Amino acid sequence: MRLVFAGTPEFAALALRQILAAGHQVVLVLTQPDRPSGRGMALRASPVKELANAAGLEVFQPPTLRDALVQQRIRAAGAEAMVVAAYGLILPQAVLDMPSHGCINIHASLLPRWRGAAPIQRAILAGDQETGVSIMQMEAGLDSGPVLLSASVPISDTDTAASLHETLALLGARLVVDVLARLPLPASPQPEVGITYAAKIDKAEASLDWHRPAWQLARQVRAFNPFPGSTCCLDDVPLKVWRAEAVAGDGRPGMVLRVERDGVVVACGEQALRLGELQKAGGRRLSAAQYLAGTALSPGACCALSGS
């Protein structure tokens, strides 16, 4: 099939790789403009652009799709379908109407649950037992189009946003290739009940609030790994917490209850949180044992909100 592909991060790059392996002709790749990255803030190409360049595909990086000249270039590609995966730009109706089979989106949730920007993180934060991927026929609404194909996966108690992202990216790549091979497919309208929205993750959400139950904070640590990371100040040292679990414990929220080889146990609003992997600003991630080997810490120390 003659395709336009629109995507930006690694999630999308995995889908593009599978689409190419399946023998489809990708005549144009849309991806976000290069962004400053790293300490030197040098411009960096997206994973999709890097893959497209390596495959010799035509790459187009407009800042918006609302411009008439931009739309003219997309129309000139003569695509039968456009595959969209974590692209990051709104597709106006004129673009949605261009391909004969329309625009097909790979969305990392079981729609209509978790429409929007951060479905993987929100599913973990909410304590969902499962999630999945929906291949959706796009329309003007936010992730509201009818679903062509979907599949579910369980969310384990150890899944992070990073591990779940990898699982769902591979699943999405497989499902979209399946859909492309079977077009035209009947699409099922999304139910009117069960709609939730996955707001974009804000860095202001990163700080661990010790007045909350430990199980909620454990979910937060998993959901915010790798971005933006969960933060606190342990004995006045700003830290990111990359691994944690709820354990038995009782005390004033934010007080260090126990200092153990496998973690620092901090009292919460309910139970306690064992911090198992920590990182100082500018340092590397350390297991609790590695961190404690270089930092003296005793029960009764204060673990505060970051920035407080």
Annotated binding site, which residues?
109-112
Closest CA to 92 of 58, 159, 138: 138
Cβ neighbors of 108 (< 8 A, separation 6 or more) are: 11, 119, 120, 131, 133, 165, 168, 169, 172
CA–CA dist 172, 191 (Å, integer): 21
Give the Cα separation of 107 and 85 in Å (integer): 7
Residue type present at position 308:
S
Q: Which two tokens stand for residue 156?
A: 């384990």
Q: Is the dihedral of CA 108, 114, 118, 124 positive or negative?
A: negative
Residue of 17, 5, 2 lying closest to 173 (CA atoms):
17
The helix (run of H) or strand (run of E) holding residue 278 is strand 272-280
Q: What is the DSSP letter of 269?
A: S
Using DSSP's 3-state secondary structure scheme, residue 10 falls into helix
Annotated binding site for (6S)-5,6,7,8-tetrahydrofolate: 109-112
Identify any residues that bridge with 231 across adjacent strands, giving them in sequence order. 207, 240
Element (H, E) at 69: helix 68-76
